[in-house]
Amino acid sequence: MVAFPLVKLAALAVRQISKPLANRLKTKAKNSLFFRTYICMPPAQLYHWVEVNVKMRMLNLGKPSEVPKLNETMAIELGADLLGEATIFMIAVFTLSAEYVRNSRNEKAKEAAKEERFRTLQNDIDDLKFVIEKHNAELLHLTRMYNAMEERVQIVESKKK
């Protein structure tokens, strides 16, 4: 019972830690040339293009002929935000997956315990059936012996008379 609250607290701690981790990652991404150029900007430009197209279609303005690209600063900012959100999302997915796996293991263990208990009870029932059959056979044998003795007693008494 104690493990349940500890796991929940650990999951909550991981989620709380993920936000500062994502912010730190965003800051590093903004300061690193490699991250800015190859990690932040391409997804930001794609996101911007998709967002503009979807908004234009939702407003029934048709398909835009050309979507202007974001300037470098805006693309880096948007890309860093996307990276931070993706980090938080991935940590949440990992946490949920770990919780699901843990619950699955617990359920399997409970199911195995139930199955073992069922097998034990079934074996006990089979053993009791065997004992009952053995007692019935012994009772039948003793009844036959009693009847045979009774007949002998009657024969002996009838000879005495």
SS3 state at 63: coil
What is the phi/psi pair of residue 43, to 5°?
Answer: -65, -35
pTM of this prediction exceeds 0.85: no
HSE toward the beta carbon, residue 108, CA cutoff 13 A: 6
Three-class DSSP category at 102: helix
pLDDT tens-digit profile, the chain (161 residues): 445 666 677 777 777 777 787 788 888 888 888 888 888 899 999 999 999 988 888 888 877 778 889 998 899 888 888 888 888 888 888 888 888 898 899 999 999 999 999 999 999 999 999 999 999 999 999 999 999 999 999 988 888 87
Long-range contacts of 153-161 (CB under 8 A, 24+ apart): none
pLDDT of residue 4: 60
